Amino acid sequence: MAAGPASIGVFDSGVGGLTVLRELRRVLPQVPMHYVADAGYAPYGLRTPASIIQRSEAVSEYLIARGARLLVVACNTATAHAIEALRQRWPDIPIVGTEPGIKPAVASTRKGRIGVMATPATIASARFADLIKRHAGEVQVFSQACPGLVELIERGELDTPALHQLLAQLCAPLRAAEVDTVLMGCTHYPLIQGPLQQALGEQVQLLNIESAVAQQAARLWQRLAAGAQDPADPAPPPTLQTTGSAPALSAFVRDVLGWEGLQAQALNI
């Protein structure tokens, strides 16, 4: 398949990476963007490391073939398990990952007790353990795996009794630990930030890293020849594709993000 125009390729296991895409569009409005939701293989958080690497490579290869000059791995789980494999396979392509911001959380905590909510695969990864080892110092880190949460978000259950019940269960250990700062260690979780804040309590500070990811991508994009867009150029709509249900993704971006007129395309890779 012939390559399209130079673009930023963004992928996630589903809709969570749209929070990163939203921020990328804000900081780089003139840049073509191509988003793939690998929903047919979601959630990554319950897959083996080998399976996560295989899917990440397949999606990345597709995006690069379609013109991606920079990749954003808008998935904490894929970053934790696959980003080094991607960088080794495509050493000339800048690749930006997404991982829990232990360092800013450590800087933000008042009581020296932070929580991290993430998928089981992220919590179990060596990369996550290394982040804690390098940045936590004397701060206590309470890791909370969140099985089932991504699945509810993927189904569009952003404010349902089932969501609130699951959040109450997941947040109970963090409340008991009296953390004052919690990292949303999955790009899906900002889509339920309101209910999550309610479950944790207003006294808890919630952190995400979408802005930092977008800023890093912007810095790298500007170094590329492909990054020279005329500010007067109209902002192109992003290309949206999914290995799951295209109508479901189209409805999600319309109803949740307010992006009217965008139609997702089905993808088989």
Catalytic residues: 75, 186
Distance, in Å, from the CA atom of 43 to the CA atom of 51, rounded to the nearest integer, reads 11
Q: Check the annotation: does 77 bind a ligand.
A: yes
Q: 145: closest CA among 126, 165, 164, 173?
A: 173
Ramachandran area for residue 119 (φ above 0: left; ψ -120 to 50: alpha; else beta)? beta
Q: Check the annotation: does 13 bind a ligand.
A: yes
Q: Check the annotation: does 81 bind a ligand.
A: no
Return the half-sphere exposure (C-beta side, CA atoms, 13 A cut-off) of residue 172.
6
Q: Are 62 and 269 in contact (CB under 8 A)?
A: yes
Q: Check the annotation: does 208 bind a ligand.
A: no
Distance, in Å, from the CA atom of 219 to the CA atom of 252, rounded to the nearest integer, reads 29
The burial class, CB within 10 Å (0-12 / 13-18 / 19+), for 158 is middle
Q: Check the annotation: does 187 bind a ligand.
A: yes
Q: Check the annotation: does 109 bind a ligand.
A: no
Q: Check the annotation: does 79 bind a ligand.
A: no
Summarize the annotated binding site as residue ranges: 12-13, 44-45, 76-77, 187-188
Summarize the annotated binding site for substrate as residue ranges: 12-13, 44-45, 76-77, 187-188
